[in-house]
Each structure stands twice: as C-alpha cells, then as structure tokens.
Amino acid sequence: MQYAAYKRSQKYLEALPQQVFAPRHQQPELSLERTRRLLAHVGNPENKFQYVHVTGTSGKGTVSTMVYEMLRTAGKRVGLFTSPHVTTTLERIALNGKLTSVADFLWAFQKVKPYVDQCLTQERKYVPSHFETLLAMAMLIYQRRGIRWVVLEVGCGGEFDPTNIIAAPKVVVVTNIGLDHQHLLGRTKAKIAWTKAGIFKQGSLGFSAEADPRIRAVLVRRARAACVPLRFIHTSAHTNHKEANQELAIAVGKALRLPVRAIVVGIRTAHLAARIERIALNVIIDGSHNHDKLSALAQTIRVLDYKRIHVLFGIGSKKDVVKSLRPLVSLTNHWTLTKANVPYPVPMSPQRIARALRSIQAKARVTIQPNADRALKKALRTRQPDELLLITGSFYLAGQLRQHWVLEKSILEKRTAFPPPAGLKSVRKNS
C-alpha cells in the first residue's frame, strides 16, 4: 500500500478551497461550471452511469447507503459517493461492497492533478474545490471499474451542488428539510426546500419523507415545474428517524424493481461509521451536528435507558450552538467541551460552547479541554463503570476520536470503515 503517497495526495486535496459552493450573492453557479470543466477535461466519466441522487437535511447518508446495499445485493455493479468522511478521505468513494483502493485513489488523483495545477497558476477562478475534485476522482474510478449504477449524495443543498451536473437520475430523493447551512441555502425551511429540490429533473421519479405540509407544498411546486412525479412516504407522529429512513429506502428499492430479498438484506447490512456507533463498551460516537440530527440522536439514546450519561461535545463555529445543545440537556448535566483539530470548518471554541450551555442549563457540570484527544483520554479514565460516554456535535470530532479505536491504516488496507479488530478493543456495530 502506497501510504506515504496517499497522505501527500490527501494533503494536496485538503489545501484546495473547502466550501462546497458560494452563497447566492457570490455566484454559486460557479461550482457547477468548475465541476463541468474538470469533468470535461477527464473525458466526462459521469455520463456513463445511472443514478440515484439523494439530498435532504438529515438521513441522506443513511438512505444512500441502504439503497447502495440494495443494488449491490441485487447484483448491480454500483458505486456510492458520500460526504463528509469520518476518518480518511478515501471513505467517500465506495464500490461493489468495498471502499476504493489506495491504488485507484492515487490513479484518479494523477488524472485530475495536472488540470488543478493549471487552474492554480493560470485560471484561479476555476480552481476546483476539495469536494468537486473528489467527485471527479470518484467518477473516474467508477468508470475504470465498470460501475453501472451510482448512488450520489449531495455535498450540500441541491441546485448549486457540484453533484447536480449529472443528467436526469432514475430516482431523486429528498429525505427531509431542516435548518442547516442557512448561510448557503436560505434562512427559512421553505427557501432551503426550494434549493434542495433543485436536483429534480424531467425523467426522474421523486421520493421524500418530509412530513411538514407547508414544506411538502414547496417540494411539489418544484417537482411539477420539472415534470417529476413526487411521492411522499406515509409517516405518523410515532415514526422515528430510523424508521422513516428505512421506509424511504424501501420505496426507492421498490421503484427500481429490486427483488424483495435485496431490499431486506440492503436495509439489514447498511452500517455507517459515526452514526450512533457503539465503538466500545458504554461508548457511542455520533457525527450529528445540527438540531434535527441531535434531536434524533437524543431520541435514540433515551431508548437505551442509561442512568448516567457524559457528553463529550464539540461543534462548528457557524452552527446555532444553543439550538443544537437543547436536545441533549434533557439527557445529562455532565459535559466535556472540546474542539476538533481541523482548520475547516472552523470549530467553535469550547469556552463559547460553555457560555451557550450555561444559558440553558445553569447547573451543568462542565470540563473544558481544547485538545480533543486529551479530553477523550480523561473522560475514559474518570467515568463511572455504568456511565455512557457520548461523543457528538461534529463529524470532524467524531472522525478524530474514532481513531482511538479504528486506525486509518487499517481502514485503507482492509478497504472498509469497519476493519476486523486486529487486537483493538472496539465493537464496530451500529446501535
């Protein structure tokens, strides 16, 4: 395995612009143009596949993975493109039941790098972002390996998302609509819904699990404008997020006329790292990073019925921290506040989180430790034997701390986010 070369390529890619696309007043359509130019340079591999295109606020990674596993079980040659990664960049590109290989990742990197270098020196307006470049690399890898179907999760939003350069997919999915990335997508749920529904294209069949009648109406208007038949799955007030995701994936599987066995097995085998992941005894890692996701997480944790819960929490600087914390304060008053060791998105300082927390939970027991690795070690050392340690608030924090149990090299060598233990003491199974 060419580990050193992989790390160099990862460093190069991470130095590229990080924002998926610009706010509306800063020409967000440039993201689509940059992506089209890059893909044209490498021969437009994206034109070779049939797609299931997935957007939404919460659950899009879960639904994408379920549909991918259904197609794979049905015998299709299928790829899965998701974001963000948890531990290592390569996790974003999967095909035929495995993560892409380091060799294929480096091959695709060498295909796109000359064009990116040229843009960096001659046409900076068209320098592809980190996300756009990885999307092009994924398409090259899928073409090289004879993939026929791609389950494609948007990076952010829909209308201006780089993934929206594809022709009409077979199926488009909007999981639900919540308030997230408002600086990019709009300040209200209605505006966010309109932007996300920008992936609707004539010739596609649409599905959504959105329950709010007002937001459904927005989705219906955009679907009609694109001549897309849109079906809503039926949910009740008692339907939890996991059940809604499963019902949505099942509806997609049926629309694709997949065998019942493929649908059942696909639901059962779909596991995602850092999604309510029981990584060790009484330790759960979850990448929830907004109010809706954290509400769903809190709902699940309550069912586990732990008497004591210690939350290790960090979040991005642009998030509504008070709103994000609210679902968790009913679980515990025992907190360790920290931040992920990443340059982008900029993490919020634990001191700022502490001020927000105390504004809604006056009796919070708070430990502030800016170094996340030290925060984890202390929390593991000092917790009670029957106390759940819940690590959440940020995918980047989850990814950093997950490496305490799952090493990057093991993921790369085994081509799975859930490598065999090999002496590690983790239990890699989603709750």
**Signed CA dihedral, 97, 102, 103, 106: sign only:** positive
Tokens 């060498």 sit at which residue? Answer: 110
pLDDT band with cut points at 50, 70 and 90 for residue 23: low
Tokens 């780089």 sit at which residue? Answer: 162
The region, left, alpha or beta by phi > 0 then psi within -120 to 50, assigned to residue 227 is left
pLDDT of residue 316 exceeding 60, the answer is yes
Task: Give the pLDDT of residue 237.
Answer: 56
Task: Give the pLDDT of residue 236.
Answer: 63
Provide CATH 3.40.1190.10 ranges for the chain: 3-269
pLDDT band with cut points at 50, 70 and 90 for residue 28: confident
Phi and psi at 368, nearest 5°, equal: -105, 120
**Signed CA dihedral, 186, 191, 196, 202: sign only:** negative
pLDDT per residue over 321-378, tens digit each? Answer: 999 999 999 999 999 999 999 887 899 999 999 999 999 999 999 999 999 999 999 9
What is the Cα–Cα distance from 385 to 392, expressed in whole angstroms? 20
SS3 for 78? strand
% of the chain with per-residue pLDDT over 90 = 83
Tokens 């994924």 sit at which residue? Answer: 138
pLDDT of residue 101 exceeding 60, the answer is yes
Task: Give the pLDDT of residue 179.
Answer: 76
What is the Cα–Cα distance from 117 to 159, expressed in whole angstroms? 27
Comparing C-alpha atoms, which of 165, 152, 116 is closest to residue 9? 116
Q: What value does the mean pLDDT take over residues 215-239?
A: 90
Task: Give the pLDDT of residue 427.
Answer: 37
Beta partners for 208?
A: 174, 232
Task: Give the pLDDT of residue 421.
Answer: 66
User: Is there a contact between 82 and 264 (Cβ–Cβ < 8 Å)?
Assistant: no
pLDDT per residue over 115-150, tens digit each? Answer: 999 999 999 989 999 999 999 999 999 999 999 999
Phi and psi at 242, nearest 5°, equal: -65, -45
Question: In the numeric block, which tokens belong to residue 93?
Answer: 């590109």
Task: Give the pLDDT of residue 25.
Answer: 56
pLDDT per residue over 386-424, tens digit each? Answer: 999 999 999 999 999 999 999 999 999 999 999 986 544
Name every residue whose Cβ is closer than 8 Å to that of residue 352 and which is 6 or more positions away in sequence: 321
What is the Cα–Cα distance from 135 to 149, expressed in whole angstroms? 15
Q: What value does the mean pLDDT take over residues 29-57?
A: 96
Provide CATH 3.90.190.20 ranges for the chain: 277-430
Is the CATH number of domain 3-269 3.40.50.2300? no
What is the Cα–Cα distance from 12 to 143, expressed in whole angstroms? 23
Residue 329 has, within 13 A of its CA and on its CB side, a CA count of: 20
**277-430 has which CATH code?**
3.90.190.20
Phi and psi at 99, nearest 5°, equal: -70, 155
What is the Cα–Cα distance from 362 to 360, expressed in whole angstroms? 6
- Angle among Cα 115, 18, 26 to the nearest 5 degrees reads 95
Q: What is the mean pLDDT of the chain?
A: 92
Task: Give the pLDDT of residue 324.
Answer: 96
Name every residue whose Cβ is closer than 8 Å to that of residue 82 and which is 6 or more positions away in sequence: 61, 64, 65, 91, 92, 94, 153
Q: What value does the mean pLDDT take over residues 174-192?
A: 82
Q: What value does the mean pLDDT take over residues 44-66?
A: 96
pTM flag (> 0.85):
yes
